[in-house]
Amino acid sequence: MADPMTQSPQISSSQGLNDGHTAASKDSKFCVHDLVHWRDPKKSGVVFGTSLLLLLSLAAFSVISVISYLLLALLCVTISFRIYKSVVQAVQKSNEGHPFKALMEKDVSVPPETFRKHVDQCLTHINRALKQMSRLFLVEDLVDSLKLAVVMWLLTYVGAVFNGITILILADILIFSVPPLYERNKTQIDHYIDVARTHINSTMAKLQEKLPGALKRCKKE
């Protein structure tokens, strides 16, 4: 039988770890929320501009070319700065050492706890998605499966007009433009959303009334 005195530190440490994971998750959510709502225009502008430039580059060049150009540009900057500092030190006869010494001494390794935390979060989302897909494709709810079929049918037309990169570019623009627009016009947008939701619910109710009796019983169960 385990000693209660030895159990309590273990329990408190595990609770502290869970609390830390929860706090980190909330902080990341708040960070994304602040970015898309332009709480700090400089940070949001940098993230939006960088992501849009990267997507536009991927639209014009291959992934390998984009990655190679980015790494080459980074190497050019670091090598040029290294040579410049070496020349300055030689002229001034100073001994400042390596210009990137402070950065090289930083620990860039990923802690095992952080890696396990992100793996657990990804596994949770994957399991939830697999459960939802199983429910939809095995027609647990006929109406939900029909909704998915309609969405997939509409996406075939979207795919015929846009490719994947174009959709990602549009999504990036919408992510950074829709939230601030919604905040400015929240009342009007909510009104139109309620009207659309009412029409959709009434249409789905009429559709369910026309379903055969056996399907209705399955839905009620």
pLDDT in tens, 168-188: 999 999 999 888 888 888 888
Residue 15 has pLDDT above 90, yes or no: no
pLDDT at position 94, please?
80
Q: Average pLDDT of 31-52? A: 87
SS3 state at 181: helix
Residue 141 · residue 219 · CB < 8 Å: yes
Q: What is the mean pLDDT of the chain?
A: 81
Q: What tens digit of pLDDT does each residue of 156-167 get?
A: 888 888 888 888
pLDDT at position 29, please?
57
| Residue 25 vs residues 16, 20, 30, 186: alpha-carbon distances, Å | 14, 8, 9, 27
pTM of the predicted structure, to 2 decimals: 0.59
Residue 175 · residue 52 · CB < 8 Å: no
> In the chain, where are the structural domains located?
38-94+137-185
pLDDT at position 116, please?
92
Q: What tens digit of pLDDT does each residue of 94-133 get?
A: 887 788 888 888 888 888 998 999 999 999 999 999 999 9
pLDDT at position 12, please?
45
State in Å, rounded, how far the first CA of the chain is from the last one. Answer: 47
Instruction: Tell me the Ramachandran region of residue 89: left when phi exceeds 0, alpha when psi lies from -120 to 50, beta otherwise.
Output: alpha
**C-alpha dihedral (170, 175, 177, 181), degrees to nearest 10:** 130
Q: How far apart are CA 146 and CA 211, in angstroms?
A: 12
Q: Average pLDDT of 68-95? A: 90
Q: Which tokens hold the place of 3?
A: 């000693």
User: What secondary structure does DSSP assign to 192-220, as a single string?
Assistant: HHHHHHHHHHHHHHHHHHTS-HHHHHHHH
Q: Average pLDDT of 181-196? A: 87
